Amino acid sequence: NWKTAEVVLIGAGDEKEVYSFTSSSEKQLVGEFLSLISTELDEGTAVGGHNVRGFDLPMLVNRARVLGLKVPVNLLSFWKGRPKWHDYIFDTLEILSFGKSFDGNGVDDVARVFGLPPKLGHGGDFPMLWRADREAAIAYNRRDVEIEIEIEIKIRYSIQN
């Protein structure tokens, strides 16, 4: 819930490396990460994940608003009064479900279908895990990012040119 949550860890990566971003300040973490995404989009880099347009980015944008941060103009615009994400932001959930989100298309479900190892836990347990064992929380987050990268690779290589 963006109204009450606190962003404490953000994972990102590519085929070469996975990064875990933390900070003593949520405002600094969210602001710096949104700036990083903005820079990557300006450089023509595709940015994405699984349900990133339905959960992760809306959470970060709304937390930025709560924290009094400005959202980078190239990340989100409004078209006919509706939010529109930058064209280089992709969402593997939308790609796989053809825009219709439904049960059975979660990261673990998709990983299983593609023969990938599962997540290291459940997202709903993350706040407790973060409080109890930060290294385990970071490992959970990193594995999540790795799976999402592997899903994107499977999708990308399934499209014929």
pTM: 0.89
Contact 45, 37 (CB under 8 A): no
Alpha helices (H) along the chain = 26-42, 57-66, 92-97, 107-113, 126-132, 134-158
Task: Pick out the chain residues at pLDDT < 70.
Answer: 99-103, 159-161
Residue type, position 52, single letter: V
What confidence tens digit (pLDDT) does each residue in 81-114 have? 888 999 999 999 988 887 666 667 788 888 988 9
